Structure 1
């Protein structure tokens, strides 16, 4: 599910343009000190504008993949019987050498429920020294298959994951950008959550043919000169 982020992209582009204009500001009628002060004022104005559009740190969704998986547990005698039958088929398929991934990939909702409810006794789990991790992987595959089948609960969780991931990534990236260049973790989070948005910010950083590091170095120098220890100071 794509979440519109054009406003964040535009705000970041404006921010980088504002920084570039600020650090390169020149007025021959001003003293060196006054010119430095004006440059830093421009930097802080750019930061204030960006700060206004940074999304709040999102709250983790209360309904998660685990909620969906937990909802597959049988709650009636009939459901128990259906899952027992379906898991019996799964065990026979495994015995014939069919990998669990292939079984899940073609499974019906009933079979998926049986696999999820009995994941702890799958041969791969029993043979592993990291059973919990393997079970989590199986559950993720079950969830993805449910999503492919159009399961409403899975679709709802997937939509919430997308919203959370996108908002969290932009919050981290833009917040770190106030302090200088966003770190690798923030960049990877943005790339994973919003590939198009990531490409847009990379383009904004490279705009004008000026290396982003040159601008950031000048900004850091201005901060030190003006006694600003944190880019957020005064925002």
Structure 2
């Protein structure tokens, strides 16, 4: 179960309210009156969901993952000597034909520090079209992932911090998009799925809005409102 239970509950209530709204009927209403009331109830559901949009988090102090990578840089004479020794070993392995990726994904912390410190001096990096910036960035990402595998406390702390921010941002974007006519974009849906797979599954699977008839009714109401053919009052 997702830890974002409040957001999941708000979305599920919205889904149920809209599904009920597009099917609402009353024998005392004319057909046009029923359509108008359905549109009003859909608008009410969206308004209620909009009120539940969580604030987007502020990403203060830069990306903590960058600080983790920077923290591997040698600071003392002994650390510099150790890093240089480790880098010499890495270069021998590279010159012998081993791939950099294979070395990175099996490296210990000291070897990662050596690669990060020395990689920009390699001929294949220096000769890259962008001056090696893209290669260095890729190395930093793989090194960070390897630190997570090793259980490095600083990397784990940074990962958890970024994950919480990504979740909050993804939920804010998703609920904001859902509160508007139409469907959330693929980018918004993908971001939520990456940030909170369990929450994404809870709100997407078995939604009462999934049915073809329900979607057609909702699109029809939205079209009438958007074109001015239907005026919704009291929302």
Match of 1:8 in 2: 7
8 Å contact kept, 2:19–2:208: no
1:84-99 equivalent positions in 2, closer than 5 A: 84-99=84-99
8 Å contact kept, 1:3–1:166: no
1:1-235 equivalent positions in 2, closer than 5 A: 4-62=3-61, 63-130=63-130, 131-179=132-180, 180-205=182-207, 209-211=211-213, 213-224=215-226, 225-227=229-231
Q: Distance in 2 between matches of 1:105 and 1:222?
A: 56
SS at match of 2:179: helix
Structure 1-normalised TM-score? 0.86
CA 26–183 in structure 1, closer or farther in 2 if over 3 Å, else same: same
Q: Distance in 1 between matches of 2:225 and 2:12?
A: 21
Q: Distance in 2 between matches of 1:141 and 1:51?
A: 39
Would you tell me which structure has more helix in proportion to its own residues? 1
Q: Deviations over 1:167-224 (max 9, x none)?
A: 1111111111111311111111112222222222322445574456324303413533
SS at match of 1:54: coil
Q: Distance in 2 between matches of 1:18 and 1:206?
A: 9
8 Å contact kept, 1:124–1:134: no
CA 110–208 in structure 1, closer or farther in 2 if over 3 Å, else same: closer
CA 212–94 in structure 1, closer or farther in 2 if over 3 Å, else same: farther
8 Å contact kept, 2:18–2:209: no
CA 105–211 in structure 1, closer or farther in 2 if over 3 Å, else same: farther
Structure 2-normalised TM-score? 0.86
User: Alpha-carbon deviation of 1:50?
Assistant: 1.6
CA 201–219 in structure 1, closer or farther in 2 if over 3 Å, else same: farther
Q: Deviations over 1:28-57 (max 9, x none)?
A: 212445434422331122123322332211
8 Å contact kept, 2:22–2:214: no
Q: Distance in 1 between matches of 2:213 and 2:114?
A: 56
8 Å contact kept, 1:119–1:135: yes
Note the residue ranges of structure 2 that are not aligned, 5 or more in a row.
Answer: none
- After TM superposition, the structure 1 stretch with the greater mean CA deviation from structure 2, 97-106 or 125-134, is 125-134
